[in-house]
Structure 1
């Protein structure tokens, strides 16, 4: 796919420390397309909603919960609505800070907003991944993309499309199991980014983030130029 400049919300990109294993960001089907006023560009929503179907990591102690605090007419005669919500932070469409997998690295509030905006290079490996749940994106896949589209630009956000976003929120189809708890981890099967490819990106390309439409396994890595 061609390079496109996109503005990415915090919830649409997962970023962790270099070569660490982190969470995924789903590449959801785009909603109604609306051209951003004055830019000539079309924003694409990459997020999934947070609700009772939100997919969390199997060991998450708390899944998403939304409860009303007050909804209705107040004693003062005006309508008022307020809710509270709770859930594990690594669920659904979300961002992983470098601190998630690397001691002493920045938390979400310390990640510069500039890292969440830039040209997007979308590497589509859905044909390979849909044929092999454990497929890992290789250096060869990245080089093949560059042969067709040119060098991955500096300060780019690398978005990996495996095709598994189509299965969300079916946990078994999306992650390989719908079981919960520590014992479920050995049954997880979904595509990811090979460590060699992550290392190659860090050492040879000056990208700012990697996003993916699966749940985890070395996929979303904060990469810095060596």
Structure 2
């Protein structure tokens, strides 16, 4: 169990104010942006593989019943602020408006393995961000899920995370295992600077997204349908989005 008396993990600064979203018109069908929950879903190698098994199975039994066990930070999932801040809210305390709303999908071309995404690349992306937007990054890396190359993903520079907070982004969704440096490149004492910079001001993080390329360069409406897990630092999500126009 976590020790609530421990001073490590303090620094949650609260939710940033959200403007009232502008009215928009749906401009396409809902798209599923999630990896299915199964034994092969993408995960950081330090986490154990999920386990799925049938407790009851037809026709031998009168019904089918499935049991599963998994870390909440594998597959398409969302991080709660308490993932890194003990004084931050857990999953069940995240206000619903933080999990849905309008935003943009940015395609970032030409990224190389282990490369850094900096502020200039984000400033050049279109359409322009609006305060309170959800931002989904399309790096193309989700196509490599399940391969060793998936672990050589690009990541955000810490100053890029700072820039996103300044723009008023409320949720960052990315098609890579983590917006921080890949696990195999982390030096001794690595301290997750991107996660901490985003989560301390209430910018939620969704990892292992897929399929958002169909909406690249568009404004979109998103829903990140997380499980209401009491006290949890994260949850698998069924992420969906559709194109919108103002």
Q: Could you tell me the TM-score, scaled by structure 2's length?
A: 0.60
Number of equivalent positions: 165
> Structure 2 vs 1, CA of residues 143 and 159 (structure 1 numbering), >3 Å: closer, same or farther?
same
Partner of 1:135: 115
Q: Are positions 1:208 and 2:170 aligned together?
A: yes
Q: Which residue number in structure 2 is paired with residue 91 of structure 1?
A: 74
Q: What's the RMSD between the two structures over aligned residues?
A: 2.4
Q: Which residue of structure 1 aligns with residue 19 of structure 2?
A: none
Aligned to 1:119: 102
| Shift in alpha-carbon separation, 1:207–1:196, aligned structure 2, 3 A | same
For structure 1, the 5+ residue unaligned runs are 1-16, 19-37, 176-188
Identify the structure with the greater helix proportion.
Answer: 1
What is the CA–CA distance in structure 1 between the aligned matches of 2:32 and 2:124, rounded to whole Å?
A: 27
Map 1:1-226 to 2 at 5 A. 41-60=28-47, 62-72=48-58, 79-127=62-110, 129=111, 132-145=112-125, 148-150=126-128, 152-170=129-147, 172-175=148-151, 189-202=152-165, 204-218=166-180, 221-222=198-199, 223-224=201-202
TM-score, with structure 1 as normaliser: 0.65
Secondary structure of the residue aligned to 1:122 is strand
Paired residues of 1:115 and 1:155 also in contact (CA < 8 A): no
Q: Is the 8 A contact 2:81 2:202 kept in 1?
A: no
User: Is the CA contact (8 Å cut-off) linking 2:139 and 2:175 kept in structure 1?
Assistant: yes
Change over 3 Å in CA distance of 1:67–1:224 after alignment to 2: closer
Question: For structure 2, which runs of at least 5 residues remain unmatched after alignment?
Answer: 1-11, 14-24, 181-193, 204-246
Aligned-pair CA distance for 1:154: 1.8
Listed one character per residue, the Cα deviations across residues 59-95 of structure 1 (whole Å, up to 9, x for unaligned) are 11x31111111122588xxx31111101122111111
1:224 deviation in Å? 4.9
Is the Cα–Cα contact under 8 Å of residues 104 and 135 in structure 2 kept in the other structure? yes
